[in-house]
């Protein structure tokens, strides 16, 4: 894998002139992803059709016979081998005292070899009417059938009732079976036995239309005169009695070498062949029995190659389905495991926090705090953000670092004339540079970093710095909430913040492996940051990079859910995509940069073997599998048991709902927005998965991703009172 720290320019609004960069546009990624999805979908459709649309069933499933007005009388009363159905039909019968043994529905890996062994020992040749899907699954048996001198006929590809199919489906069934035989044994055959057929007098108008179409395609239809009825498994003696001819007329005997337990067929053959030979009967193939010249011929090169391709493609589809099944169950197990872990961790975290109220971190932290607000074109929300900080019930100095804004952000802040607020102007250099400028200007040991689109609750600063009473604490993550919750997109992001981010942070806090202190609301020890050289600009997720560096340096990073801040979330799918794409890509960069933590000890080892492993499993690998699992779920709805697939989906949704209810309860939120959770599974979740997919593609391809600033909407308001638990949004009281 390419080192992600080399994949991008320094974070923020970039300085130019760093040389050329190789760009792979998202359109290329979409093209690749679409090709993969279309290819997978096509393979699944083909595999589903060939394995689940029809299949081998007993020969009595077609119901009563229909009208036979169009069936010629000479055919209804003629021989079992029918040719010229589309023009001048004629039939043929086996010669007297000649038995043409025929076997349907194979080849089968268990019963076909046993039947072939019986035939070889008795020096008898037979005709095998094979099913295309069975040929694909066991091509070696078809080769053995041909090599041992037996004839091959086709019995369609998926064993449907051809009379109930559209003409194009009939053609497809015949053509695909012929190709499968050509690919397996390098031969083609003119012999056809339609599934569920029997004797001539059972033909009706629908059957006759099948025979005419088959004749036009070059096939000779082979019916039967004697049915062993072994498919009913009536017992060996009964099979033997059914297969024994009465008189000396030639017979085409119908038996089966697949489609179930054929032990009775094998046992009956061992007795039947010697007995009939002793009575003066001889055994031959269908072609020889009626004097047909060369019904089985060598395949052409084109058919042989197409047949090989068909077999390989369907075998690959079978392997893919098995793999997808394993991955689906694995993904489900991992999802359940994650849910169990985060719920147990959240409950444990809550108990510890309740105990913390009685036994706090240490003496109350009352020292003054420096608040750094990096700002680039934040005029829409900067006033609300700064006013909320000024209204803090903890002493603060506020440093607004204007990073070359072009919308008058700095002028707006200065015009407010708020006490304790400083504005520092600098040329556009990026968010990390702005944070480092503020860090250098800060006069306090404790530093709070705030995005320009975030407003703080009055007690947020005081609450977030209390964990610094513990000298081991180097950083504290606050609780960011979505302020613009209107519409489905806002609700979905609100659910994600409460359920996903906060539950995960409680787990990371307990495991002492916090990977990210969000830029919207985070507090740090200034000396810890200076020891690291400040905020790095080599990734697009500077907050994640900084947090991981602190963990590796031995500092403890904790989560304080009581430090509430309100942030603007993207209000359009495009803006959401750009934000999450940057977050995900930057996180991948940070994970790669700090991969050495996997083999370190102490707090660095906890980050590597707990935090990074968790991120890799649940935020990278699981989302990469999710689109495949969704495609397989659709496959299951169409071709498998839809009730079972629906039940599994509802169980997954119930699990998500239970997690949501508990997380909302922990966070003091009303559960009303959770009604949109089912819809989230169809749109929002897919978008997040695609973000991960494209981020991984971008990283692996070695492309560089530029900073993408989120559009501001001016939805922030200054909360003058503490948020009432359970409210859907912060109070909008004018400043």
Q: Which active-site residues does the annotation give?
A: 104, 256
Question: Using N-to-C axis directions, what is the helix angle for 409-416 and 382-390, rounded to 10°?
Answer: 40
Buried b (16+ CB within 10 A) or exposed e, 318-342: bebbeebeeebeebeeebeebbebb
Number of neighbouring beta carbons within 10 Å of residue 1: 10
Cβ atoms of 554 and 586 closer than 8 Å: no
Cα–Cα dist 311/9, whole Å? 49
Cα–Cα dist 298/304, whole Å? 9
Cα–Cα dist 281/265, whole Å? 19
Q: Name the 3-class secondary structure at 396.
A: strand
Cα–Cα dist 99/114, whole Å? 20
Structure tokens at 182: 């050509």
Distances (CA, A) of 115 to 194, 301, 582: 22, 31, 64
Q: Name the 3-class secondary structure at 482.
A: strand
* Nearest alpha carbon to residue 612 among 625, 623, 599, 624: 599
* Nearest alpha carbon to residue 405 among 95, 100, 709: 709
Residue 515 sits at φ, ψ, to 5 deg, of -90, -20
Cα–Cα dist 343/607, whole Å? 20
Residue with structure tokens 């056809």?
A: 192
């Amino acid at each position: 894998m390419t080192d992600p720290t080399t994949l991008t320019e320094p974070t923020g609004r970039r300085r130019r002139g760093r040389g050329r960069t190789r760009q792979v546009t998202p359109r290329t990624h979409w093209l690749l992803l679409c090709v993969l999805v279309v290819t997978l979908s096509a393979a699944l459709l083909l595999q589903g059709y060939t394995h689940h649309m029809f299949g081998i069933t007993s020969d009595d499933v077609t119901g009563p016979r229909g009208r036979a007005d169009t069936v010629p009388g000479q055919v209804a009363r003629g021989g079992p081998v029918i040719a010229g159905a589309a023009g001048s039909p004629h039939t043929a019968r086996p010669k007297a005292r000649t038995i043409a043994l025929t076997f349907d529905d194979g080849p089968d890996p268990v019963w076909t070899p046993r039947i072939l062994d019986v035939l070889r020992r008795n020096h008898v040749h037979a005709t095998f009417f094979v099913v295309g899907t069975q040929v694909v699954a066991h091509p070696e048996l078809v080769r053995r059938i041909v090599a041992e001198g037996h004839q091959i006929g086709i019995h369609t590809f998926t064993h449907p009732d051809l009379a109930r199919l559209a003409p194009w489906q009939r053609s497809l069934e015949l053509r695909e079976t012929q190709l499968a035989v050509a690919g397996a044994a390098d031969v083609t055959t003119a012999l056809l036995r339609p599934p569920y057929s029997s004797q001539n007098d059972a033909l009706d108008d629908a059957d006759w239309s099948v025979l005419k179409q088959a004749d036009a395609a070059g096939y000779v239809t082979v019916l039967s005169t004697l049915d062993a009825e072994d498919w009913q498994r009536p017992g060996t003696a009964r099979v033997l009695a059914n297969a024994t001819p009465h008189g000396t007329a030639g017979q085409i005997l119908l038996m089966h070498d697949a489609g179930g337990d054929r032990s009775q067929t094998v046992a009956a053959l061992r007795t039947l062949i010697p007995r009939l030979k002793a009575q003066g009967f001889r055994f031959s193939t269908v072609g020889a029995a009626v004097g047909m010249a060369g019904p089985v011929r060598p395949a052409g090169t084109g058919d042989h190659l197409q047949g090989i391709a068909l077999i390989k493609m369907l075998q690959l589809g079978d392997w893919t389905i098995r793999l997808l099944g394993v991955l689906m169950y694995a993904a489900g197990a991992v999802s359940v495991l994650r849910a169990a872990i985060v719920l147990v961790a959240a409950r444990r975290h809550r108990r510890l926090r309740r105990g913390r109220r009685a036994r706090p971190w240490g003496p109350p932290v009352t020292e003054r705090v420096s608040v750094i607000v990096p700002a680039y074109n934040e005029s829409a929300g900067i006033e609300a953000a700064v006013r909320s900080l000024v209204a803090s019930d903890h002493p603060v100095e506020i440093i607004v670092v204007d990073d070359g804004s072009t919308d008058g952000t700095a002028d707006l802040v200065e015009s407010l004339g708020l006490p304790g607020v400083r504005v520092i102007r600098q040329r556009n250099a990026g968010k990390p540079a702005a944070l480092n400028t503020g860090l250098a200007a800060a006069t306090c040991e404790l530093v709070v970093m705030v995005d320009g689109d975030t407003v703080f609750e009055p007690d947020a600063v005081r609450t977030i710095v209390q964990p610094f009473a513990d000298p081991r604490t180097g950083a504290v993550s606050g609780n960011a909430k979505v302020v613009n919750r209107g519409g489905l997109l806002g609700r979905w992001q609100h659910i994600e913040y409460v359920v996903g981010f906060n539950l995960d942070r409680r787990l990371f806090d307990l495991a002492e492996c916090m990977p990210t202190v969000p830029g919207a609301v985070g507090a740090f020890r200034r000396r810890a940051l200076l020891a690291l050289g400040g905020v790095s600009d080599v990734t697009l997720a500077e907050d994640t990079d900084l947090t991981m560096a602190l963990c590796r340096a031995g500092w403890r990073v904790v989560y304080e859910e009581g430090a509430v801040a309100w942030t603007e979330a993207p209000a359009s799918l495009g803006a959401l995509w750009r934000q999450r794409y940057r977050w995900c890509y930057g996180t991948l960069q940070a994970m790669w940069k700090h991969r050495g933590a996997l083999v370190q000890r102490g707090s660095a080892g906890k980050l590597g073997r707990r935090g990074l492993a968790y991120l890799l499993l649940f935020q990278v690998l699981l989302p990469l599998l999710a689109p495949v699992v969704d495609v397989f779920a659709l496959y299951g709805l169409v071709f498998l048991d839809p009730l079972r697939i629906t039940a599994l989906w509802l169980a997954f949704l119930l699990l998500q709902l239970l997690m949501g209810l508990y997380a909302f309860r922990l966070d003091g939120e009303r559960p009303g927005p959770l009604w949109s959770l089912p819809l989230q599974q169809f749109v929002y979740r897919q978008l997040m998965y695609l973000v991960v997919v494209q981020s991984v593609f971008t990283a692996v391809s070695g492309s560089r991703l530029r900073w993408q600033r989120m559009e501001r909407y001016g939805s922030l308001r200054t909360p003058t009172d503490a948020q009432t638990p359970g409210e859907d949004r912060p109070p909008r009281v004018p400043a």
